[in-house]
Structure 1
Amino acid sequence: MKLEHRFTVPAPVPEVWAALLDPEKVAPCMPGATLTGVEGRKFTGTVKVRLGPVSLLYQGTGEFTSVAEDVHAAVLKASGKDTRGNGTASATVSVALSGVDGGTAVSVVTDLTVTGRPAQLGRGLISEVGGKVVDEFAVCLATSLGTGEAEEVTSPEPSARPRLRAVPDEPIDLVETAGVPVLKRVLPFAIALAALVFLIRRRRHR
């Protein structure tokens, strides 16, 4: 699936560009992400995800496959696999920066492929959660650059998105992040997962 987002950071283009190419600066701003290694343009890390009662831990790698310094554009490819075999995720992320009054406009286009349990939530929910994650990332990035808050993310299907608190290393809860309107749509699925986990645990204790 293709996701498109755009946000503005109140900082000069060169400063934002340098930050986006620095995994050690970017990773703490990604909910649930932990950086485990950096070697040139390649890096490794983990992402913790919670889907109601189910916790997932993705281990993966990423690499900047294209970096165009002259136009401030880059392409990042990343992939990961849940350690318990509950699914995979891969993405090609294209980022482009441009100067605007008061800062830098950041355009992010993501080609995302998700398998396993998170994929069952459907494109609509994943798109909505993705927008909120990018929103939080933008706010965290602006704060780390010492410039205050970024302007709200825009997408092809804009919606009201509450500000989220960036908590490095803590799992990102897809259901909680989605908010109450989306929660109503996935509540039956969450209840079914909870019941399944309960039954499995009960059988193990017999």
Structure 2
Amino acid sequence: MELNNEFRVAVPAAKTWDVLTDVERVAPCLPGATLLSVDGDDFTGAVKVKVGPITVSYKGVASYQEKDETARRIVLRAEGKETRGSGTAAATVTAQLKDEGDATHVVISTDLAISGKAAQFGRGVLADVSSNLIGQFARSLEAELLGSASGAGTATTTAPTAEAAVAAAQPGADSVDLLKVVALPVAKRAAPVLAGVAAGAALGFLLGKRRKPAHPAAIKADELIAALSRLVS
């Protein structure tokens, strides 16, 4: 499947390029990622994700296939396997940088192939997850770039904004919780179906089901509908 994302950082393209082509600087900006070793343009790493109480870890290899500084185009190939399971993931990631003076616009195209537990989410949810994670990555990348820029100058410092503080804290996380990432997209997709279920339940109630005690499963369904309704409201 192909996933397309884009982001903008308030840093010139030359500085953004320097970080995106330096795996030891860019890896800490990736949510849930850990860099294990580097050998030129080849490196190994691990990614840990959580789905509620379930944790899935991938370990694999990656390499820069292309680094065209003139065109400001980067192509990265990565392959990994679940450390506990038979699932696999492979991706070719292409990043195109566009210089906007004091800012950089980055367009990312990912050709992704996965199997195992993560594949059950489907393209729609994976696209939302990708968008969310790219957003976290962009904020962390911008914090890294702005932090290194200020550190290279005078010793004068300013208090970080709340957004920058959150971005800076994210890379240190042991894993990224996909339950939080996918909950809202799934809730939005499920809302029309749940609305139909709720309408059917109301109709059944009005047709004379009042005297029968509620089945435990029905109570749980009502609670789920209420919870998802709060998420999408």
The answer to whether the 8 A contact 2:62-2:76 is kept is yes
Counterpart amino acid of residue 173 in structure 1: D
Distance 1:19 1:181 in 2: 31
Query: Which residue in 2 is equivalent to 1:197?
Result: none
Query: Which residue in 1 is equivalent to 2:70?
Result: 70
**TM-score, scaled to structure 2:** 0.69
- In the TM superposition, residue 87 of structure 1 has moved relative to its aligned partner by 0.9
Query: Which residue in 2 is equivalent to 1:144?
Result: 144
Q: How does 1:1-206 map to 2 (within 5 A)?
A: 1-146=1-146, 166-183=170-187
Going by fraction, where is helix more abundant, 1 or 2? 2
The answer to whether the 8 A contact 1:50-1:172 is kept is yes
The answer to whether the 8 A contact 1:34-1:46 is kept is yes
CA RMSD of aligned residues (A): 2.1
The secondary structure found in structure 2 opposite 1:145 is helix
Whichever of the two has the greater Rg, that structure is: 2
The secondary structure found in structure 2 opposite 1:146 is helix
Counterpart amino acid of residue 83 in structure 2: T
In structure 2, runs of 5+ residues without a counterpart are 148-159, 162-166, 191-233
Distance 1:137 1:8 in 2: 11
Relative to structure 1, is the Cα distance of residues 170 and 98 closer, same or farther in structure 2, using a 3 angstrom cutoff?
same
Going by fraction, where is strand more abundant, 1 or 2? 1
Counterpart amino acid of residue 110 in structure 2: T
Distance 1:40 1:169 in 2: 26
- Cα deviation 1:108-162 (Å, max 9, x = unaligned): 000011110110011111110110000000000000011789xxxxxxxxxxxxx
Aligned length: 173
The secondary structure found in structure 2 opposite 1:11 is coil
- In the TM superposition, residue 46 of structure 1 has moved relative to its aligned partner by 0.4
Larger RCO: Structure 1 or Structure 2 (Cα < 8 Å, ≥ 6 residues apart)? Answer: 1
In structure 1, runs of 5+ residues without a counterpart are 150-162, 187-206
**TM-score, scaled to structure 1:** 0.78
- In the TM superposition, residue 185 of structure 1 has moved relative to its aligned partner by 6.1
